[in-house]
Amino acid sequence: MAIYLGFDSSTQSLSAIAIDVSESTREVVFAHAIVFDDVFPEFGTRHGILPSADRGAALSPPALWAAALDRIMAVIAAEAPFPLDRIRAISGSAQQHGSVYLNGDAAHRLERLDPDASLASQVPPLLARDVAPVWMDTSTTRECRAIEAAVGGPAALAAITGSRAFERFTGPQIRKWFSQDPGGYARTHRIHLVSSFLASLLAGRHVPLDRGDASGMNLMDLAAGAWSPAALDATAPALASKLPPIVPSWTIVGALAPYWTRRYGFPAAKVVAWSGDNLCSVVGTALVAEGRLGISLGTSDTAFASMPACTIDPPASGHVFASPHSRGLMGLTCFSNGSLAREAVRDAFALDWTAFSDLLRRSPAGNRGCLMLPWFGPEITPPVARPGVRRDGIDTGDAAANVRGVVEGQMMAMALHSRWIQSSPRVIHATGGAAANEEILRVMADVFDAPVLRFEVGNAACLGAALRAWHADALASGSPVSWDEVTESFVHPLGAAIPPIREHAAVYADLRQRYAAFEASVLERG
């Protein structure tokens, strides 16, 4: 009899899913998505990012995310096939690391959002900074090195926070904001992640941060689940007073604000702490058990899994985050050349996705021994600041070789750099937009030599958010539901697993080593 809503605010779009949970029914009853560039061209973003003269900066307008939230709530109110008063709880997933800087009036204004005005028009007066740096930002290398030096080096920072300093992480971004604009930093009263900012708009008050998303900031003591004084001191002055409290991911952080009840007729449903997209995907792909590797193919490609113990990635290209479903941990490696790299090849040869897939199907596994390092833009893993695609044996005019080159390159990089999380996964759980492409998943199965499962609900982050809302509401209402029950009810494989082909896997066993050597030699040459 209960409806739970899950949102996913990603780099390029906002999605919503509603699930119906009763004794007899457990089903997704509504889904909707809004693509930022298409629906809100007035914000001037491309792929969700503003043009910027600041080299390496990737900035988005927080008012755009608010406009999309307002719009999707209007769509739910108008089109959802259930009475709104059945909605019990709402949670969300958001792109990780991005930060929103709010001023001293924000607390007061959040409590008084005017239901007769658009949400987007009410966001600029909340802000101490009109833009939010997001995860694609690569402009803070200097800040990363300074923070690491202040705490005793990259390994020391990784031992405290789960990651060495990364350009896109919130701590280095805060340090840059403080050094660029000390006045703006002084006017900042609260720094939210994208997740806690959107949850604050729903609840009409500053809400806390969930422990999972907070672990992507280079600021949290992972073992303690609390802000690390050493990391905060290394980042910017008086930072503790500007950060929200950290809570377990299943915390109810408020109720839907009067803005939503008066504007659209929503009930005062519980708002459950939002979390990061990869963390919600752990729930939405049922990675709550060990031995499974999740791979999300989106604007970023990520490989992740639950971890039994805290093992910091030796070359430190990966991260350890707090799990959103337990007091345990998850490992993650992130690649910035995901869907935009695949699209760059598709567009260079004027293909559509059907033609792209045909070329992939018709070309030989292993690409005749040719290789591509798919660094169309700056890369996070391995760190590549100056982009440039490197080809070994691939003719730039050969469509099939380039299509296969980009997909194989991405999969081999993922296999190479996710070994520290799981050296030989028994099964891969695939999600994200490109997981709809069976040919890409075939290459994944062959490169990893493991079967690949995909799921009825393709947006695992969004589903994971709705499932987290259910789990948190059940817990808070005194009738807890186990994670096994939560995921078994909704995370259903779509068809049979895609098995690896033995001969292809043998080709990749060799090619993966050559890829690693090629990558190392190119990085060595700078």
Using CB under 6 A, list all residues that contact ligand XUL.
10-11, 95-97, 135, 168, 216, 276-278, 300, 302, 332, 334
Q: How far is the CB of 214 from ligand XUL (least distance, A)?
A: 13
d(CA 222, CA 231): 11
* Rounded-to-10 torsion of CA 487, 490, 491, 492: 130
Q: How far is the CB of 391 from ligand XUL (least distance, A)?
A: 26
Nearer to ligand XUL, 196 or 300 (CB): 300
Please name the amino acid found at residue 189: H
Helix axes of 483-490 and 277-284: crossing angle, nearest 10 degrees: 80
The radius of gyration of the chain from alpha carbons, rounded to an integer in Å, stands at 22
Q: How far is the CB of 296 from ligand XUL (least distance, A)?
A: 7
Would you give the DSSP letter of residue 311? Answer: -
Nearer to ligand XUL, 122 or 195 (CB): 195
Nearer to ligand XUL, 158 or 334 (CB): 334
Q: How far is the CB of 368 from ligand XUL (least distance, A)?
A: 32
Nearer to ligand XUL, 122 or 299 (CB): 299
d(CA 394, CA 392): 6
Q: How far is the CB of 221 from ligand XUL (least distance, A)?
A: 19
C-alpha distances (whole Å) from 209 to each of 251, 346, 448, 454 are: 10, 39, 35, 30
d(CA 422, CA 304): 9
Nearer to ligand XUL, 137 or 439 (CB): 137
Nearer to ligand XUL, 302 or 410 (CB): 302
d(CA 276, CA 296): 13
Q: How far is the CB of 304 from ligand XUL (least distance, A)?
A: 9
Burial grade of 167 (CB within 10 A; 0-12, 13-18, 19 or more):
buried
* DSSP codes of every residue in 342-369: HHHHHHHTT--HHHHHHHHHHSPTTGGG
Q: How far is the CB of 257 from ligand XUL (least distance, A)?
A: 26
**Structure tokens, 494:** 């779509």
Would you give the DSSP letter of residue 525? Answer: T
**Structure tokens, 245:** 């409290």
Nearer to ligand XUL, 135 or 518 (CB): 135
